[in-house]
A and B are shown apart, each in its own frame.
Chain A
């Protein structure tokens, strides 16, 4: 079997079960691919020795007949997940040198299932960004390229998306607070699933905005997303917002039959200035689902327009509180202090040199909207609008809608360095189609559906009912099959 790193989880699992390949061989193939892909800047902390040990243990487990679906599968881990004994710094200078003494529940679940850790993946600092440009490691680079220009893999899970698209690993973990799994998946021609809020534990995932953050799988296929979600999800006494629900067999839900299902097309997602290509792709996706026997209906989600401003109040507010812990005392970096500097100078200097500009901006916006006099005008108003956004979805589902289809992004991947740094709002507009889902806590998945005229991948996303990831994945499978997206980036790195 050649190029083992190009396998899907499902194919690798089946080959492992038949004894045609070992986890050690899969792992070596990935490590070699990572070795040759420095130009993508996707992996930022390698764990090759640990990977070889884990692969050997997985091979013993498989031989003993005790394999779980992820046993022996080499994966990458977004830097935001705490992994015991491995640098985990959420791409921030302020966590330089931080090596957790504990394991995030999600990665713990994956290791229990026998997955093999290849290393930590690049991302935007504290998962704040849509281009992977605000990272202390420098930007991750999209394996897809046009005219020799380097493109963003999207963000914040840009390293995860680049690594999966370039076959450096079989799959990767991501986190999605406002689109950070789905947008990079769309930009790289891969699949990204954000589960229902509470489906996956947040314990040990370095926090950005706790009421929105949710971890999920980033994979090559919908089936792989189903397999990997099953291994990531669990109840968790360490996370009071994590649901105590049994984890269903998501792969078993993939019947490929969506006859009689009702798919909603939300008219408010047809925004001003939407490129005709995106609109055409969306209509094409709707046709594919109709051809598969679903009923496609127009729906209204009237408060969609206000999701972005509500998000950019709520997320920074929560972040300013969460990131108050980085004070130069308990972990990470402390600034060099001058003669006579006291504790306030220590805090202020440490945070000024430890946080990048976008994180600082969000800290300050969050502090402002939570401050006395503005709390009601901004923060409480945003939370009320959030309730209305959720109600829009509740109404649609109560009307019998099974899934909602929308574009994932307003454009294909754009060149690195093309965002105007002096106008942060311009960058926030990238999240226009994705933030609604986080505000409502719903599950969503981005599936690659076509290429634009430059030859870059475009994705569509499906939104599902809370805790019905199985049904959502089944819709996604139908879309994936109908789209038949098989394009891969030409190797230049």
Chain B
């Protein structure tokens, strides 16, 4: 498999990273280099092997389904680049 410039543009957009058109050829080349390296994995016989989800054979902890924290809007908003009247503010999203 190999990534074209168009696909590189698409991956950049899916990642929400702006990339200049001029930078696309180099980006596609780098991504292809990395994917080529990953292709070694095709040499491994993985028949009947379950994909690993966690390293420790332990059951995830459970707890009561109740609210454990909250009531601190000022703290939540204290690092926001733009917060107004108790909300995060973003550019207009509805026309």
Interface residue ranges, A against B (CB under 8 Å): 97-101, 196-198, 211, 237, 240-241, 243-244, 303, 305-306, 308-310, 312-313, 320, 324, 327-334, 337, 341-349, 351-352, 355, 360-361, 363-369, 371, 374, 377-378, 380-388, 390, 422-425, 428, 439-441, 466
Give complex CA distance A154, B20 in Å: 31
Residues of B whose CB lies within 8 Å of any CB of A are 1, 3, 8, 11-19, 26-27, 29-31, 33-35, 37-44, 46, 49-56, 58, 60-61, 63, 72, 75-76, 78-82, 88, 90-93
Whether A387 pairs with B11 at a CB distance below 8 angstroms is: no
Chain B neighbourhood of A332, CB < 8 A: 79, 81
Secondary structure at chain A's binding surface: helix, strand, loop or mixed? helix
Q: How far is the CA of A365 from the CA of B40 in the complex (A)?
A: 16
Q: Return B10 CB to nearest CB of chain A, in Å.
A: 9
**In the assembled complex, which residues on chain B have CB atoms less than 8 Å from the CB atom of A365?**
31, 34-35
Judge whether A440 and B61 touch: CB under 8 Å.
no
* Residues of the A chain whose Cβ atoms lie less than 8 Å from the Cβ of B31: 361, 364-365, 368
Closest 7 CB pairs of A and B: A441-B55, A383-B51, A331-B79, A334-B81, A348-B18, A384-B46, A352-B18
Q: How distant is the Cα of A198 from the Cα of B27 in the complex, in angstroms?
A: 36
> Secondary structure at chain B's binding surface: helix, strand, loop or mixed?
loop
Contact residues in A for B51 (Cβ distance below 8 Å): 380, 383-384, 386-387
Q: When the two chains form their complex, are residues A97 and B41 in contact, meaning their CB atoms are under 8 A apart?
A: no
CB contact under 8 A between A383 and B75, given known A343-B91, A352-B17: no
Q: Is the CB of A351 within 8 A of B17?
A: yes
- In whole angstroms, how far apart are the Cα atoms of A97 and B55 in the complex? 35
Find the A residue at minimum CB distance from B14: A367
Q: How far is the CA of A169 from the CA of B43 in the complex (A)?
A: 46
A237 to B88, CA, bound (A): 28
Q: Choose among B3, B40, B42 the residue that contacts A368 (Cβ–Cβ < 8 A).
A: B3
Say yes or no: B46 contacts A343, CB within 8 Å.
no
